[in-house]
Amino acid sequence: MTLDELAAAAPRAAPAPTPSWTWGCFHRRSVTYANGQEDAEARVVRLQGQGLTGELRVPAWRPDVSGREGLEACTVEELLELSAVDGRVADAAFGNGLMTWDNPAAFQPYEQWPEPGQMQRVGPGLIEFAPSGVQMQDWRLQPESGGLHVALRLMFETGLDGLTRPRDGGLILCGDHCLFSLDRRRPLPSDAPVQQQMRQAGDPFAFAEMAFDGETSYARRRADGRFRIELSTNPFAEGRAAPVLEDFVQTSISGVLRQVIGEGRDRIVRQWRIDTLIPDATISMVTEADKAGAAWLRKEGGSLLRDL
């Protein structure tokens, strides 16, 4: 079955630990730092489910390796630059105006953004402040974020050999947007940044194979209903089809789905815990304002919004 079919037949949602105005797919417009610097070039995507956050961060300086066969065809310098990405899923909670994240599964083996987020949303704009004052991020809610709303946390996977191995990760679907993340099958030697560990590795290519065994990818639904990867921690995954909707079945365990990926020697069975599985979530581009503010916008809207 597809996730669309499962959500329609057996919708499921636990009490949401995050408010509905944080749900959906957001692209970051910029980040501004306390030292006066600003980055509006990095490609950063966040998908927020009811209880699960997924993020993907790709710096603007990542080299273009689209003409290469794979990691083994890159130079060591290119591998080092490729490893300066991050992607993760984490359990989210919201209280006292702050979003907090716990239990991450991430490409970088340390917490690159350790502070909670103080958030406020106006229309499609979501502003996130670090409580320390060191940075502010400006996010924009993307159209087509409503509809099918899914958040799944990976429990384990079973290979062709029949052995079940723990593996962390997550899958978040917000309408036509999807982010999925898989942790590495083997942990890295230390919790230092991937780039630093690769630079110190005796064989950078072998280390790269291990490092990029973990993946976080952002995909969008095409006109044929299927998803295709637009951005990934692994640039060689970009452009590929993303099997994020199909081949799921409800197990005998409440709140658990099983998914079969691939065929033959590539067959993998993944087991997912359901956080959210609803067919028709409403994700609005509009937010509320108090009566005085709404009256001001009605009064001045003709001149303020005429050319927009």
Predicted pLDDT of residue 42: 98
**286, part of any domain:** no
Give the span between the Cα atoms of 204 and 270, in whole angstroms: 30
- The whole domain housing 107 covers 3-281
Say yes or no to pLDDT of 303 above 90: no
Predicted pLDDT of residue 74: 95
Predicted pLDDT of residue 300: 87
The DSSP element (H or E) to which 89 belongs, if any, is strand 86-95
Residues 6+ apart with CB under 8 A from 246: 2
**297, part of any domain:** no
Give the span between the Cα atoms of 25 and 219, in whole angstroms: 11
Predicted pLDDT of residue 307: 58
> What is the total count of domains within the chain?
1
Residues 285, 289, 293, 294, Cα dihedral to 10°? 60
Q: Could you read off the pLDDT of 254-297 as tens digits, one per residue?
A: 899 999 987 777 788 999 999 999 999 999 999 999 999 989 98
Predicted pLDDT of residue 243: 80
Predicted pLDDT of residue 163: 82
**294, part of any domain:** no
**19, part of any domain:** yes
**194, part of any domain:** yes
Give the span between the Cα atoms of 304 and 129, in whole angstroms: 27
pTM (2 d.p.): 0.94
Q: CA-CA distances (angstroms) from residue 121 to 18, 74, 133, 208, 308?
A: 13, 42, 18, 39, 20
Say yes or no to pLDDT of 308 above 80: no
The CATH number of residue 224's host domain is: 2.40.128.280
The mean per-residue pLDDT over the stretch 73-81 comes to 96
The mean per-residue pLDDT over the stretch 1-12 comes to 92
Say yes or no to pLDDT of 129 above 80: yes
Residues 6+ apart with CB under 8 A from 72: 205
Give the span between the Cα atoms of 147 and 128, in whole angstroms: 25
Q: Phi then psi for 285, rounded to 5 degrees?
A: -80, -5
Q: Could you read off the pLDDT of 80-127 as tens digits, one per residue?
A: 999 999 999 999 999 999 999 999 999 999 999 999 999 999 999 999
Q: What is the largest CA-CA distance in the chain?
A: 68
Predicted pLDDT of residue 88: 96
- Using CB atoms within 10 Å of the CB of residue 230, give its burial: 0 to 12 exposed, 13 to 18 middle, 19+ buried: middle
**276, part of any domain:** yes
**88, part of any domain:** yes
Give the span between the Cα atoms of 178 and 230, in whole angstroms: 10
Please name which of 255, 290, 288, 292 lies closest in space to residue 271, comparing C-alpha atoms.
255
Q: Could you read off the pLDDT of 170-214 as tens digits, one per residue?
A: 999 999 999 999 999 999 999 999 999 999 999 999 999 999 999
The mean per-residue pLDDT over the stretch 11-40 comes to 95
Q: Could you read off the pLDDT of 224-236 as tens digits, one per residue?
A: 989 999 999 999 9
Predicted pLDDT of residue 263: 72
CA atoms within 13 A on the CB side of 53: 25
Give the model's confidence band at 166: pLDDT under 50 very low, under 70 low, under 90 confident, else very high.
confident
Measure the CA angle with vertex 229, ends 223 and 235; round to 5°.
150
Which 8-state DSSP code applies to residue 16?
P
Say yes or no to pLDDT of 15 above 90: no
**246, part of any domain:** yes
Predicted pLDDT of residue 13: 82
Amino acid at 140: R
